[in-house]
Structure 1
Amino acid sequence: MGVIKLQLKINGLWLLLIVAAGFFCLLYIWFTLFPGRVNPEVLNYFSEQQVHDGRAYSFVPGLLFALSFLAQAAFLIWLVFGGRAVAISRFFQQITGRSIWSYVLFFLVLWLILKLISLPFDLYTSFFWQHHWGFSTQTLGAWWSDYIKSSGLELVLSAAGVAILFGIIGRWPSFWWLITAALVSLWLVLQSLLWPVLISPLFNRFEPVRDPEVTAMVQQLAQKARLPVDQVLVMDASKRTTRANAYFTGLFGTKRIVLYDNLLSDYPMNQVKAVVAHEMAHWKQGHIIKGLLMGVAANFLIWLVLFLVLRSMVPSAGYYPPYTWAVILLFFLLVSFVGSPLQNYFSRGMEREADRVSVMLTGDVPGAVQLEVNLAVKNLSDVSPPNFIRWFSYSHPPALTRISDIKQEGRELK
């Protein structure tokens, strides 16, 4: 049988996704290479050297992000529409028959190839580049330990997911997308609930805040916000990075605010208070629940569209061969990339809301402004990113926007 008979056709939706993803990727590369003029307003808060350093640091991660996506997308497009996925799929079926093992073998081979494609980009961005700028405190051995641990976890969960997915497809060929969407939605909820207590401790140590001044400050903010804050934990982030950060995570009984140990050691108390207030604002405004609800709605829509796409591509009614997994991966890779601006738009909106509410809780506008300046300087943020890159990939507003929002909220409180 000739290769031409093994090829899948690119229909209108695939063409739209591929063209849109390619267009966005090329624009991203263009604006990374040629970011344009610096907004003169940033010089009210940052020196020219700080602005230059932020752009210089952001250049390589931005470029490698786009190139990594291009490499993976190009490989999957070649695999799916060049006939190779069908050929490999048939080879595994000849060995195992129509058993679940043909799907597992196809998944394992594809997972390994994609890991090898992305590895050089990940290694350079998260290890060598971080060491070049003095952020990483990891040894190469520790980096590999983290990488192997996270990859192993990903492999186990993904393999189980693939086996369940194709089991569902075989049993309910007309409604598999609905059942799968429901199970993935349940997984999103369980992940938010259990990740902080089961998975995060595999990579970091978490301890309750022991500083009585911090504890008193947290209790005072929680009382003002009317929140039952039971757990404020310190994470040993300094074993990997010099960066400072904090986050709010969990659902129901696993809710907690997590502070990097670097934040407590490197920032004054009024700025730590601003960070804690920001995370409490996420809690108070229900941002995790809102994010989950939007994720669940998008999840059902995407699986429905995928079902319609596969129905037009897979010839045998009710049977989806192992190569279907390559089609699914390509679909999700393109959709997640093209959908990044929408997802980040909602994320930035929540961050801006949390900034405003945090100022209401602390009443300390100068402290919040200085925090944004210090975070941007110490983390080498690009404080004047090109509009396209900000729109496409920023989950948080740039420093200047956050400072403006904080000052505006301060004026309204007077």
Structure 2
Amino acid sequence: MDTVIVLFNRDLRTHDHPALAAACENARQVVPLFVLDPALPAGHRSAFLSECLADLRRSLRERGGELVIRRGDPVAETVRLARRISAQAVYASSDVSTLARRRQRRLAEACEQSRMEFRGFPGVTIVAPDALRPSGGGDHYRVFTPYWRAWSAHPRRETLKAPDMVHVPDGLEGGLLPDSDHEPSVLFRGGETVARERMRQWLKHCVEDYADGHDDLAGNRTSRLSPYLHFGCLSPLELESTAVNGDAFVRQLCWRDFFHQVTAAFPRINRDDYRSRGQEWRTDSGAAQAWKEGMTGVPIVDAGMRQLLTENWMHNRARMIVASFLVRRLRLDWRVGADHFFEMLLDGDIANNYGNWQWMAGTGNNTRPNQTVNHIRQAKRFDPDGEYVRRYVPELCSVPKRAIHEPWLLPAGVPGYPQPLVSMD
């Protein structure tokens, strides 16, 4: 084969990239392509995305290649470029969201009409979403524990090295990297290079302590690799294969795969109840806004929400606490919270974000749909000294620890801090 286009989406890396590796093996020339779709603005993720693309371009140039960047409809731009360079095939990593599947279907149809081959490849997950089926029937696992057993026993594909060389056609214009209206994240710099160094340090120094430390709200004992997994700067398979003595951490990677296979079977997970249980949600725009701004009057909830506002990331335990507070105490629709998370989080994707929100709301895969997270107990257990709260809610820096854990003890009139939105009985 002479020329293959590799269309990058949520797979912005060179290591363990099955589509890129196959293209380099099968074709004389390979054109890595990323299409910026103006219909899908990156928002708070735009600066991170720009850094990811710049790093990917550097990596490809080091191998003699180039990252070609175009703007417009991804299918139309891919086909336009393919015709211009007389490509014989388009390769891409498969994904599970409604948008991704529609794009892949349109691309396959357009390639067929242009007499080009189209191939979808794994790489977004460790185990392909359609690889496992329950023994009792059904197209996907609805409960995590049996999925975990099947997932753990399933054979893995080979982890692939980055290609030594990427040969692109002569005279092909790369295009401009995207600008961003948002400041780059101080905590998360985008790109495979940063991601791989973070992965090495995490696996070397921290992964063995994950089971004991990942719920410590004030500590820095989670991997913070989720933005890099979301953008595909890291291969989840490579991460799993190198996480020696990291069973608890690998289980979290399995949760990621679990929600991807749920989304593949139920693509409207971001809009419709996976399991409708007849909940009646309140409409209260004021309460919703107070929650978004971290002004509910409940310190542990407000700390989590302000961490999201300042870092575009939130500790995993805090995510559970603030989500449960929204749906159980404020009784607001889970979509209000899930959409806000999706907009703000660097790691916000369809499968994990909406799957986890539906889990907390009782409309998803939780086998205990009425489960409530007691935010007071959670604060006492996972932020016992109030360090996490004080870090993100500075109004409470001088407030005694007991009052931080028990908001009804907060003195009236703490400057700038509201009374609790709901009764604390």
TM-score category, normalised to shorter length = under 0.3
TM-score by length of 1: 0.28
Q: Which has the higher helix share?
A: 1
Greater relative contact order: 1 or 2 (C-alpha under 8 angstroms, separation 6 or more)? 1
**TM-score normalised by length of structure 2:** 0.27
